[in-house]
């Protein structure tokens, strides 16, 4: 069932540090890889996404690195802030509209 | 513009009962998705509806079912509730294919089965 494997399950980072979350997928038909951010009591919201034709995408402090041959992608949060504390989900989908999510990473950024 | 709305926020049922959860998508969105978020398991895909039809379902038993109404709202029914059905049920909507856009999630319905 879990076609996208995510690690670590939880992560604690000091303010100003770099948070790194990793994901691996199995289905080579996936062609869109978004990351969702979920705060307590809220639904997940799209943070950043990448397609396999590029190896990196950066939006502000958030960067996705993508390795197509290894079927892996990761989220890097630079200069992590306490407000970044949330649960992060990687996901993968294709034109079947079937979005598969990882198990989530609970990030805590300590002040 | 109103986001995805779900009701009820919380629901407590006993084993063997039936639960009905409801979702209203963002205006203009024709696709509705249901996900189960159980502790430590991330978001598990349940069902996808588009234009009133069930387009895909995840690896869940048939007692998980639903429908989409002509106004694109949707309901999820869970029959013969089991303890392990306790979870947050998230509804999401989208316009077009999700690999060209994004899923917009509601805040979920927390189902507790005693």
Q: What is the CATH number of the domain that holds B38?
A: 2.60.40.10
- Percentage of chain B lying above the pLDDT 90 cut: 79
pLDDT at B98 over 90: no
- Distance to chain B for A57, nearest Cα, Å: 16
pLDDT at position B97 is 63
**Structural element, H or E, at residue B23:** strand B19-24
User: Are A76 and A82 a contacting pair, CB within 8 Å?
Assistant: no
pLDDT at A1 over 60: no
Residue from A99, A102, A106 whose CB has the most chain B CBs within 10 Å, to mutate: A99
Band (pLDDT 50/70/90 cuts) for residue B42 is confident
Total number of domains constituting chain B? 1
Residue B113 belongs to a domain: no
Q: Enumerate chain A positions whose Cβ falls within 8 A of a Cβ in B.
A: 1-2, 6, 9, 31-32, 34, 36, 41-46, 49, 89, 93-104
Residue from B29, B31, B43, B97 whose CB has the most chain A CBs within 10 Å, to mutate: B43
Residue from A97, A102, A104 whose CB has the most chain B CBs within 10 Å, to mutate: A97
pLDDT at B38 over 80: yes
For residue B75, how far is the Cα from the chain centroid? 7
- 3-class secondary-structure state, position B70: coil
- 3-class secondary-structure state, position A57: strand
Residue B96 belongs to a domain: yes
Band (pLDDT 50/70/90 cuts) for residue A99 is confident
Residue B97 belongs to a domain: yes
Number of A:B CB contacts under 8 A? 67
Is the Cβ pair A98, B97 closer than 8 Å? Answer: no
User: Are A94 and A31 a contacting pair, CB within 8 Å?
Assistant: yes
Q: Which residue of B has its CA nearest to A44?
A: B105
Is the Cβ pair A101, B98 closer than 8 Å? Answer: no
Is the Cβ pair A101, B43 closer than 8 Å? Answer: yes
Residue B47 belongs to a domain: yes
Compute how many other C-beta atoms are within 10 angstroms of the C-beta atom of residue B93: 25
Residue B112 belongs to a domain: no
pLDDT at position A94 is 80
Total number of domains constituting chain A? 1
Band (pLDDT 50/70/90 cuts) for residue B41 is confident
Maximum C-alpha span of chain B: 41
pLDDT, one tens digit per residue, over A34-90 is 999 999 989 999 999 999 899 999 999 999 999 999 999 999 999 999 999 999 999
User: Are A80 and A109 a contacting pair, CB within 8 Å?
Assistant: yes
How far apart, in whole angstroms, are the C-alpha atoms of residue B59 and residue B42? 14
Residue B114 belongs to a domain: no
Domain that holds residue A105: 4-110
Q: What is the CATH number of the domain that holds A99?
A: 2.60.40.10
Maximum C-alpha span of chain A: 42
How far apart, in whole angstroms, are the C-alpha atoms of residue B111 and residue B104? 21
User: Are A84 and A69 a contacting pair, CB within 8 Å?
Assistant: no
pLDDT, one tens digit per residue, over B60-72 is 999 999 999 999 9
- Distance to chain B for A102, nearest Cα, Å: 6
CA atoms within 13 A on the CB side of B72: 19
Domain that holds residue B17: 5-103
Residue B38 belongs to a domain: yes
């Amino acid at each position: 069932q879990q076609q996208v494997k995510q690690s670590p399950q939880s992560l604690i980072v000091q303010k100003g540090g770099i948070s790194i979350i990793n994901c691996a997928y199995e289905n080579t038909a996936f062609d869109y890889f978004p990351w969702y951010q979920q705060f307590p009591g809220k639904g997940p919201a799209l943070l950043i996404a990448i397609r396999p034709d590029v190896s990196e995408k950066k939006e502000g402090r958030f960067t996705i690195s993508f390795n197509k041959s290894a079927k892996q992608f990761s989220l890097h949060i630079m200069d992590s802030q306490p407000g970044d504390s949330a649960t992060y989900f990687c996901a993968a989908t294709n034109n079947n509209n079937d979005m598969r999510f990882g198990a989530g990473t609970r990030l805590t950024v300590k002040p | 513009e109103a986001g995805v709305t779900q009701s009820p926020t919380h629901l407590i049922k006993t084993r063997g009962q039936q639960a009905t959860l409801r979702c209203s998508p963002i205006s203009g969105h024709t696709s509705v998705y249901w996900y189960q978020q159980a502790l430590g398991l991330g978001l598990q895909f349940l069902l996808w509806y588009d234009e009133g039809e069930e387009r895909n379902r995840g690896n869940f038993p048939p007692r998980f079912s639903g429908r989409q109404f002509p106004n694109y709202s949707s309901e999820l029914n869970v029959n013969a509730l089991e303890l392990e059905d306790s979870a947050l049920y998230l509804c999401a909507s989208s316009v077009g294919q999700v690999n060209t856009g994004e899923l917009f999630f509601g805040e979920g319905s927390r189902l507790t089965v005693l």
